[in-house]
Structure 1
Amino acid sequence: MRPVSRRDLVVVAVGLAVLGWVVVRAFYGDLPGLHWWQPVPLALLGAAEGLGARSLAARLTTDRDRRRAARSGEATALAPGQRSLDPVEPMLVARLAVLAQASAWVAAGFAGLWAGALVFTLSQVGRLAAASGDAVAAGVGVGCSAALLAGALLLERACRVPPED
């Protein structure tokens, strides 16, 4: 499995930004209103993936240290307050890597769509009354999509197998 290409994510985001701008420009009057809370689940997913990445990285580091100590014949003692953790299942790491990559693609797509809506609504702020509220919602959407993208990339990095020393 290869890491997700940052360049490909940028291409998807830019392409969908253009598509989003065209669609919003053509159908702005017919679209339902945009609300600031609509993209918030993206940020919550990003936070969950970021916390999961932190936890997974710590557990994998502990597993690697245990294996290294077992190979060298050292006894591994737990630090005060540290509890013994079960080893991380390899299939769990593989599933989390797939989740991270899927989330990265989804985040890039949503970031592009929200960016397209943001560009159009910012250009209409002086002309249309609803455009200022929609621009705020689109800005929040871009930010929440970026949070999901960051969480997904952190989780993907935590799932990587480090090179042997």
Structure 2
Amino acid sequence: MHEELNPGVIVHNKARLVVRSFRQIEGIDYTEVYASVARLKAIRIFLTYASYMNFTVYQMDVKTAFLYGEVKKGIYVDQPPGFVNSKFPNHVYKLDKALYGLHQAPCAWYTTLTDHLLQHGYTRGTIDQRLFIKRQNSYQIVVQVYVDDIIFGSTSEALCKEFEQVMKKRFEMSSLG
């Protein structure tokens, strides 16, 4: 079915370049290809603790999370089909940001998120590396990360609002309440 475009109407097309990994060489680009993911037990413990402390628990989702991941090592990709530069058809792109489909993307995203939280006064859990805590006076906020979903709760409503602002300042987020 064909739709006519009206003058003055902006149409947003969502395009995404996805990396297709056909080969990796062990010892060069094969390590750290995982996302640090909270286990179901850890989420249950978080919810039990939140209930015990009488937290209100909130959930946020990071939109296009993997695209925020900063690549530290040299990763090169071929030019995508249909977008090959005719002057340099044999050149490749060096990535400085992660792309979907890149095996290192989940780890790059988690590293970027961790650095952001640590810069804002959060400490990483000693047993669960996906748990972050911030204490302010007699209040605390607890944050549990599951890839691009984040649940958090606090003994202070102000700390929850501050956390949302800290996250929305750096990442495009949707608050799920």
Higher-RCO chain (CA-CA 8 Å, sequence separation at least 6): 1
Question: TM-score, with normalisation over the residues of structure 1?
Answer: 0.30
Bigger proportion of residues as strand: 2
Of structures 1 and 2, the larger Rg is shown by 1
Question: TM-score, with normalisation over the residues of structure 2?
Answer: 0.28
